[in-house]
């Protein structure tokens, strides 16, 4: 059964979610960006440059890998991994950054700012900024600069300025606040490269479109293996960009079950988690209406996850819509389960996944027993785990 999916509407609303809840100062920049993005869709030069960079610089297409030993372990559905970890810089983030950076150039902005949690978006932004020759400033929570230090060093080497953020929980939410304050101040010459399907319209739509290359390639790579359609798609959800990138091209195909996996931190019965869709309520943070971890008075609650990239109390507005409509199922996985999954994939398949990605992998233990041998599961392997070795060694007590 196919039905057509047309979100968002012209004003950037996914059902009741999304929109542009930002200070007036930014409204012209959002319009400028929307116009540039709409123009770029039919601009052959832009499209050529974009696709060339995806291929020659980012290394696309990424492989769709059949995980034979992981499949054997469960002895049910076939498990495939979409290898975004093999992208240049080590995660899916660069797919989006290349698109936004070319738009920044097209609009004529001289200065690039970004927020980062795990540092993967920061590294991707610093990388592409270096490649096109633009100044780059990255905001990063102080706590994240500690737990993702290898990425801080990479960004420095790439010539970016890193500004550690000491407010709040010193994580992604606070880095985003500071990036928005910088943007409000320097909006005339500054382009804000947002790292996930969050922020005000047109970002959630635009980032989704740039990341959809993941799902489009997956569909083609499956069909090369005579698999007309996957049965399950699984991806981790921080802001929600790698998941929507995999899901979106399949969204009208009802036979595909889609599962987004959030971070349950110490557990969803504790106060320390980042399971926004599972436990949050609708609210406005960082320019859009979406599910949000907040208290009864509308104050945003601190999130917790071992994974810096999932440690965020908000989530992209399209996911809120997909949750309410039931099109996507959202589950959650704890810190401990994700660490186990890191070890498992490393030792069964020779692939060290990022802690973010490990949340999607950990959910396979719940999902696989319910599948059958003829079925296909695709997991988005959103990033690689080198950045997390410090945390992983500490937590798994390696010496």
Give Cα 263 to chain centroid, integer Å.
13
- State the binding partner of 95 from other proteins, ligand PLP, none, CB within 5 to 8 A by kind: none
- Choosing from 20, 78, 93, 387, the catalytic residue is 93
Q: Report the residue from 89, 95, 145, 241 that binds ligand PLP according to the rule CB under 6 A.
A: 241
115 flagged as catalytic: yes
- State the binding partner of 19 from other proteins, ligand PLP, none, CB within 5 to 8 A by kind: other proteins
Binding site for other proteins (CB under 8 A): 11, 19-29, 167-168, 173, 177, 180-181, 184-188, 281-287, 292, 294, 296-300
Minimum Å gap between C-beta 40 and other proteins is: 22
> In angstroms, rounded to a whole number, what is the distance separating the alpha carbons of residues 33 and 191?
9
Q: Which residues contact 247 (CB under 8 A, 6 or more apart)?
A: 215, 233, 235, 258, 260, 322, 328
- Measured from the CB atom, is 70 or 113 closer to other proteins? 113
120 binds ligand PLP (CB under 6 A): yes
- Choosing from 20, 78, 105, 115, the catalytic residue is 115
CB 141 within 8 A of CB 174: yes
CB 136 within 8 A of CB 109: no
CB 382 within 8 A of CB 354: yes
E-assigned strand segments in 67-211: 78-83, 111-116, 135-141, 161-165, 190-192
Minimum Å gap between C-beta 349 and other proteins is: 40
> CB-side exposure of 180: number of CA atoms within 13 Å?
21
> In angstroms, rounded to a whole number, what is the distance separating the alpha carbons of residues 74 and 308?
29
- State the binding partner of 297 from ligand PLP, other proteins, none, CB within 5 to 8 A by kind: other proteins
Report the relative pairing of strands 257-265 and 232-236 from DSSP bridges.
parallel
- Measured from the CB atom, is 175 or 187 closer to ligand PLP? 175
- State the binding partner of 204 from other proteins, ligand PLP, none, CB within 5 to 8 A by kind: none
> In angstroms, rounded to a whole number, what is the distance separating the alpha carbons of residues 42 and 36?
11
Minimum Å gap between C-beta 27 and other proteins is: 5
346 flagged as catalytic: no
238 binds ligand PLP (CB under 6 A): yes
- State the binding partner of 184 from ligand PLP, other proteins, none, CB within 5 to 8 A by kind: other proteins
How many residues bind ligand PLP, per CB under 6 A? 21
275 binds ligand PLP (CB under 6 A): no
> In angstroms, rounded to a whole number, what is the distance separating the alpha carbons of residues 257 and 267?
25
Q: Report the residue from 22, 258, 322, 354 that binds ligand PLP according to the rule CB under 6 A.
A: 354
- Choosing from 196, 241, 332, 382, the catalytic residue is 382
Tell me which residue of 29, 61, 57, 43 sits closest to 132, measured CA to CA: 57
DSSP state of 299: P
Q: Report the residue from 121, 201, 208, 219 that binds ligand PLP according to the rule CB under 6 A.
A: 121
Tell me which residue of 247, 192, 160, 140 sits closest to 29, measured CA to CA: 192
Give the residues lining the site for ligand PLP (CB under 6 A): 91, 117-118, 120-121, 196, 236-243, 309-310, 354, 356-357, 382-383
Query: Which residues are identified as catalytic?
Result: 93, 115, 382
């Amino acid at each position: 059964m196919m039905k057509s999916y047309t979100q968002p509407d012209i004003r950037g609303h996914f059902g009741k979610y999304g929109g542009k809840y930002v200070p007036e100062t930014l409204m012209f920049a959002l319009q400028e960006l929307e116009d540039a993005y709409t123009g770029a869709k039919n601009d052959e030069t832009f499209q050529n440059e974009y696709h060339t960079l995806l291929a020659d610089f980012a290394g696309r297409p990424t492989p769709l890998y059949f995980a034979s030993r992981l499949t054997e372990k469960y002895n049910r559905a076939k498990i495939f991994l979409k290898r975004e970890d093999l992208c240049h810089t080590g995660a899916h983030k660069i797919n989006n950054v290349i698109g936004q950076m070319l738009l920044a150039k097209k609009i004529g902005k001289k200065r690039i700012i970004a927020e980062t949690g795990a540092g993967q978006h920061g590294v991707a932004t610093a990388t592409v900024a270096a490649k096109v020759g633009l100044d780059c400033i990255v905001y990063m929570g102080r706590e994240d600069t500690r737990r993702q230090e290898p990425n801080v060093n990479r960004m420095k080497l790439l010539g970016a300025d890193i500004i550690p953020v000491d407010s709040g929980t010193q994580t992604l939410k606070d880095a985003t606040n500071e990036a928005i304050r910088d943007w409000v101040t320097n909006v005339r010459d500054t382009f804000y490269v947002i790292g996930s399907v969050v922020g005000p319209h047109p970002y959630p739509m635009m980032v989704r479109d740039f990341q959809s290359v993941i799902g489009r390639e997956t569909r083609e790579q499956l069909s090369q293996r005579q698999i007309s359609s996957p049965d399950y798609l699984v991806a981790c959800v921080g802001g929600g960009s790698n998941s929507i990138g995999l899901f979106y091209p399949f969204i009208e195909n009802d036979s595909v079950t889609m599962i987004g996996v959030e971070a349950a931190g110490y557990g969803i019965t504790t106060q320390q988690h980042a399971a926004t869709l599972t436990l949050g309520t609708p609210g406005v943070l960082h320019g859009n209406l979406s599910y949000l971890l907040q208290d009864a008075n509308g104050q945003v609650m601190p999130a917790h996850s071992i994974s810096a990239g999932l440690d965020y109390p908000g989530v992209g507005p399209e996911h809120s819509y997909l949750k309410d409509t039931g099109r996507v199922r959202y589950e959650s996985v704890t810190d401990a389960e994700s660490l186990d999954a890191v070890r498992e994939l490393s030792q069964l398949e020779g692939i060290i996944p990022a802690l973010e990605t490990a949340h999607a992998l950990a959910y396979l233990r719940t999902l696989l027993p319910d599948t059958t041998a003829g079925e296909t599961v695709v997991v988005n392997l959103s990033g690689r785990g080198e950045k997390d070795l410090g945390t992983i060694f500490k937590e798994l007590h390696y010496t």
